[in-house]
Amino acid sequence: MTDDSRVRLSELIAPAFLPVHRDIRRGDHDEYWLKGGRGSAKSSFVSLELVLGLMRGAAARDAAGEAGLPSAIVYRRVAATLRESVYAQVIWAIERLGVARFFDCRVSPMEIRYRPTGQRILFRGADDPGKSKSIKLSRGYFGFLWFEELAEFSGMEAVRTIRASALRGGSRGVTFYTYNPPASARNWVNEEALRPVPGRLVHASSYLDVPEKWLGADFIAQAEALRGSNERAYRHMYLGEVTGSGAQVFDNLELRRISDAEIEAMDRFYCGLDFGFAADPDALTRWAYDRRGRVLCAVDEFYGARNSVDRLAGEAKARCADAVVRCDSADPRMIAELARRGVKAVGVRKGPGSVEHGLRWLRDLGKIVIDPERTPNIAREFSGYEYAQDRNGNILSEYPDRDNHAIDSARYALEPEIGRRVATTRSDLY
């Protein structure tokens, strides 16, 4: 059992969220749509509210006894992303509240249990919303539901299916939605957030609402660097604004001539190779990256279908010299054959969410500089790549798997940068 007087919530909850905290305590709303840019502390806030909510529920249980005990369930679209994000986030909240001795945490199955009463925080992927129908508790009910990275979900219908299945029984259920608003105003998340729904509170925040010492100097420096190089991307990524990019995925492109002298001045190069199958082309690309300014520059390309392994090996050695060439790991035989011919070919790591993460990283760069004459296929793919749309022309948060061979090659090439973690004082802020 805990009490707000035992901890200083002002040291854990960002000032912008204190009115929301009081609103939750009063029970004024059933839905909390918390939108914001990177580092806005919205996920940290919800993790604290889940832990506090369970413990308050245990302390205030009424004549219903165990049937009146609230538990919580947390969803992300892909189950494989849970452990490194929301699960770790809730553990952080438990530790910062100083109540770790009251909780048991395990990963198989992934759940956190409150020892005094047996209340639980469950973690699930929404890969199949229908699976939520089978989730039941041996005691109590789900009083709290959290959808993290809401924009990753396929649509509100899938969310409603989960919500209707989880929030059954009990006196009150509270749902939290946390998300970075998609750039397009036509995205379903942005449209849904504008709908006037009784019992819904929509709250916006950004890193500017968070004490700087929580974020760290590196985080602030990166935000300011992007602000200087691409204000539109800065407003979207860090301020959480709907910047209205429409259907185009990459609105950070700079199509212009790149001189040989400009390339010679660069010092950080990466190569990638996406293998073509059947009539699809092979796409070998070479890139230069300015980490400080977050500027990616297309340097070279080879693009064509039905190439022999000898042809690919020759092109790779000619364009990438002795640099590592990161390849599509779906064809280990081809990677081995390239290696036998002297190419430093390696397969990239893949997993659930890797495509979305890589594209988001590319999309959030300060700018991507492409010379249409030097690399025409890269220019064509990046400038023409658009979000999927439904039959009515509504833009969806889905990336089409077509006309994206050079784009995939870029993701493979930049894998060391895409997977790079920058240390901050508060790495728990999402």
For residues 274 and 325, what is the distance between their CA atoms, to the nearest angstrom?
A: 10
Cβ-contact 30, 200 below 8 angstroms = yes
| Residue positions annotated with a catalytic role | 149
Q: Give 73's strand partners.
A: 122, 145
Cβ-contact 327, 334 below 8 angstroms = yes
DSSP H stretches of helix in 60-155:
88-96
Cβ-contact 298, 289 below 8 angstroms = no
What SS3 class is residue 370?
strand
Q: Give 103's strand partners.
A: 114
For residues 355 and 171, what is the distance between their CA atoms, to the nearest angstrom?
A: 41
For residues 28 and 21, what is the distance between their CA atoms, to the nearest angstrom?
A: 11
45: tokens are: 């806030």
Contacts of 339 (CB under 8 A, 6+ apart): 345
For residues 332 and 145, what is the distance between their CA atoms, to the nearest angstrom?
A: 42
